[in-house]
Amino acid sequence: MLLDPLDKIVQNLPYGAGFKFVDKLLEISDDRVVGIYRFRESEPFFQHHFINNPVVPGVILTECMAQIGLACLGSYLNKDEAIKSFAMTENHVVFLKQVQPETTVIVSAVKKYHRFGKLKVLVQMLDENENKVAEGWMSGMSGS
């Protein structure tokens, strides 16, 4: 069975199952990517952040945005190169809303520039009801 090209990008991300925050890419082009992830109640960080009122830590929300906005888009843009990783180098993200267990988020990123192995994107995260969760910018570099 042949994999859909979008599924192949997600499958080839260099993260293990416990740290991959991309379920599916909905669209990708040279200028934009959109993907989704559902934060399942079984995620280990919910046991400890916060007790009796679990929310997704901001660092995990940032990682989800980086995996979709930088790693997936970077992998797509560098399809002719063998990239083993795409590391975030800097970011500025503003959080507007908490994310509870069993929430699906939609991450979209628009390319600002891509040159010399460096990618910068404007990124935003919405919840399943299209409420804005976070927005900002990120940049990263490909590694071999």
* pLDDT tens, position by position, 51-61: 899 999 999 99
The token pair that represents 64 in the structure block: 């989800």
Active site residue 48: no
Pull the structure tokens for residue 47. 């046991």
Domain total for the chain? Answer: 1
**Model pLDDT for residues 79-130, shown as the tens digit of each residue:** 866 566 788 999 999 999 999 999 999 999 999 999 988 999 999 999 999 9
CATH code of the domain in which 112 resides = 3.10.129.10
Q: Contact at 8 Å (CB) between 38 and 29?
A: no
- What domain range is 95 assigned to? 5-12+21-143
